[in-house]
Amino acid sequence: MAVQPPKEFLERMRELLGGEYDAFYASYGNPRFAGIRVNTLKIDPAEFREAAPFELRPIPWCKTGYYVDEQTKPGKHPYYHAGLYYIQEPSAMAPVELLDVAPGERVLDLCAAPGGKSTQIAAKLRGSGMLVTNDINAERTKALAKNIELYGVRNAVVLAESPERIARAFPYSFDKILIDAPCSGEGMFRKDEDMARLWEPEWVRKYAGMQRDILQSAAALLAPGGRIVFSTCTFAPEENEATIADFLLEHPEFRVVPLVPDPCISPGRPEWLTWLAEQGEGRVYPPEIAAQTAGCGRLWPHKVEGEGHFLAVLERQGEGQPQEEDAGYGILVSERGGQTQSKRDSRQGHRGRPGAGRDAKAMDEREVLESWRTFAREHLNEAELPGEPLLFGGNVYLSPLGKERLDGLKVVRPGWYVGTVKNGRLTPGQPLATALSPTEAVRVLDLDASDGEAIRYLKGETLQVEAARIRCREGAGLKGYVLVTVDGHSLGWGKWQDGMLKNEYPAGWRWT
């Protein structure tokens, strides 16, 4: 057997699964499954299937997901660096599919790092609405922010906050919330042998307590009629059915939305709540509460080609939104760069003229933001870019939120990072390039994935490029920033002069 799960874990699963146990145990001798998910912000799945450099096999529960052979090394191809697909464990694609995200909605990914599910949400938003993606671990938000940027997301805010503080800042503000909850990780033993080696029985209780706290905060963040998807990658009923049952007891305004019968997704196990109570490890739930957990779902490694996951869809009953004074929406920026103010903020705007020092700071900020507008006129094809330009940490962002809404929060990215201003001129950021389409840039150089030039660019090398290869807007000169693409998909920036393309691809992103 390739992986040997902990003995105490196996004994418990034998008791819980009964006649299913032998098939479950045998699954640890099977190879793990690898998958990719197509990024529809950049390419249509049908187009990707035509261009894919490796064999694809559909994943049943995700229309944009495909099984791949891990040996093909999908991370070692220019298309990966162009953000055309995300490498993701197949079962991990299921929670966002159940969230049922629609363009224009306000969505929160509460425990988001490293960001795979956030990029899946962003693709479903199609550039409209707003995604707030968060992880309480500041170190983990580095990978989260990088993935948001690589995959061309324009309408996201990245936070490193506790759920409680987000709830105070955005009460009843989100249409959809994803909680990919911290858990004991029992479902990942086959994928990650270290997880199996380090697992401790005490983790189950510890993480169950954390999950209950996170769900409490999520309830304070969700708008009436909104939806929460709660998921884990563990088997323990304390972290799954019991967590949901406890939440329903405390929040009668919520209900479990039963999952549509699916051959890949098995139902929840309400009988395991009874088992926990008989073991003295859980409470006795009212029958109507316990019965709802049967509408949850489980992905089992002995039944599907993927690792173990638990899924629950929760909806707050009630239509319409809270009153604006209670909802905490504050300033919401329109997609065309304008903004609407709440009555509360409008009143605050009439409190009198700020001091001279604040005026000077505001003037400096206006000059910086004008540098961005100048860059956009000279290098972008009158594209209607979403969000409000704002200065944050010396960088320029286009934010889906007004700056005032972020005050007091630990903000990693307040929006789409477009560049840094120095000496009155804006140097464009890599995330600006990755989220642009070739039609939005004044100058474009397209590279071919089938020869070595694209990889040389990704390694940071200077390229020899004839002037005729640079596609320019009519009337524009060749001098200036060039959007470098591979087979029509953006990679990064370069600056062309006298037959040479100076490479602007950042060192931290380069092919290794």
Beta bridge partners of 85: 38
CB atoms within 10 A of CB 128: 14
Task: Report the alpha-carbon distance of residue 443 to residue 460 in Å, rounded.
Answer: 19
Task: Report the alpha-carbon distance of residue 382 to residue 376 in Å, rounded.
Answer: 8
Rg of the chain in Å (alpha carbons): 25
SS3 label, residue 143: helix
Task: Report the alpha-carbon distance of residue 153 to residue 172 in Å, rounded.
Answer: 24
| 62 in catalytic set | no
Residue 189: CA atoms inside 13 Å, Cβ hemisphere, count? 27
Beta bridge partners of 451: none
Task: Report the alpha-carbon distance of residue 398 to residue 59 in Å, rounded.
Answer: 35
Q: Which two tokens stand for residue 64?
A: 């944009």
Q: In what order do the strands lie in the sheet with 471-472?
A: 463-464, 500-503, 489-497, 480-486, 443-447, 471-472
Q: Which two tokens stand for residue 119?
A: 């990029």
Task: Report the alpha-carbon distance of residue 86 to residue 287 in Å, rounded.
Answer: 42
Beta bridge partners of 333: 339
Distance from CA of residue 115 to its chain's centroid? Answer: 4
480 dihedral zone (left: phi>0; alpha: psi -120 to 50; beta): left
Task: Report the alpha-carbon distance of residue 501 to residue 464 in Å, rounded.
Answer: 6
Could you say which of 62, 183, 233, 296 is catalytic? 233
Residue-wise burial string across 24-36, b where 16 or more C-beta atoms lie within 10 A, e elsewhere: bbebbeeebbbbb
Residue 449: CA atoms inside 13 Å, Cβ hemisphere, count? 18
Beta bridge partners of 57: 67
Residues known to be catalytic: 233
